Amino acid sequence: MRRLMIWLGVLVGGYLAICLLVFLLQERLLFVAAGRGAGNPLDVPVGAEVLELPLGEKGSFRVARSRPIGDPRAVMIFFVGNGEDLRSGLRWGQEFAAYGLISVVVEFPGYGGSAGRPGKTDFFAAADRALELAALEAKSAQVPLIAGGSSLGTALAVYLASKGTVERLLLRAPPASIKAAARFHYPWLPTDWLLREELCFDSLSLAALVRCPSLVIHGDQDHVVPQAMGRELAAALAGESEFISAVGYGHNDLSLSRQSEFGPRIAAFLLGK
């Protein structure tokens, strides 16, 4: 019995040590690409430019602004995924230019060459500041303003849409919330207790405030953000929403390009058809 109690104590102590380690390292575990990519050269294509926008006393963050050939049909403010920086942002901009959109693609604070610290405070501040630029573009061109995002970036797109600042919302592989995603990946840990509020992006809690038309596209083989989360979020959005199940696609191979099999439907949505 004594040996059993000793082993039980070791197991409990080890479990608590793991919980403590996860609590202390949660930013690193969540924001997997933060702090990487600084100083890496950017391949800026024709029609695109890199801008630095102020982030209060913390410095500045980067956005990629891309323009289409010919008159723009709309303006897209877009937020990249968790493993991306502005190099991906420039590629996203090219894809949206093919739809005839001006795009403002945002690099997360604390990623790549952007100052700040990952979390709701700096991410939402960057979203609000980038929105000002995108709104000016839309006003100048007299075209609709659309918000979009990929994976973690969808939380910022939903945040802007919940404030009634955009006319359409495009979401690629959205998590319902960070807590739900954490429960999926670490079902053996009390993640709801361990996660700090500053890191708990929760799109589901804002869904009832999103009244603009929305298009959600999510792969049925997504093992990073399960498709069930995208379905749940799409169903909760207050405005008219459409959900596309991308059969056979996972998290990283799901394309939004005009040449993809989903391009015609995405184009129709972006252009309000």
Summarize pLDDT for 80-111 with one digit per residue, the tens.
999 899 999 999 999 999 999 999 999 999 99
- Radius of gyration of the CA atoms of the chain, in A: 20
- Helix residue spans in 70-119 (DSSP H): 86-97
pLDDT at 204 over 70: yes
pLDDT at 119 over 70: yes
- In degrees, to the nearest 5, what angle opens at C-alpha 251 toward C-alphas 34 and 74? 80
Q: Pick from 191, 160, 159: which is nearest to 178 by CA?
A: 191
Which of residues 37 and 111 earns the better pLDDT score? 111
Q: Which residue has the tokens 């405070």?
A: 121
d(CA 269, CA 264): 9
Mean pLDDT of 55-72: 93
The band of 56, judged by pLDDT with boundaries at 50, 70 and 90, is confident
pLDDT at res. 26? 87
Full strand arrangement of the beta sheet holding 101-106: 48-54, 60-66, 101-106, 74-79, 145-150, 168-172, 214-219, 241-246
Range of lowest pLDDT (7-16, 51-60, 246-255):
7-16
Hey, how many other C-beta atoms are within 10 angstroms of the C-beta on 177?
21
Task: Give the architecture-level CATH label for domain 49-270.
Answer: 3-Layer(aba) Sandwich (3.40)
The band of 151, judged by pLDDT with boundaries at 50, 70 and 90, is very high
Structure tokens at 61: 């963050």
pLDDT at res. 28? 87
pLDDT at res. 20? 87
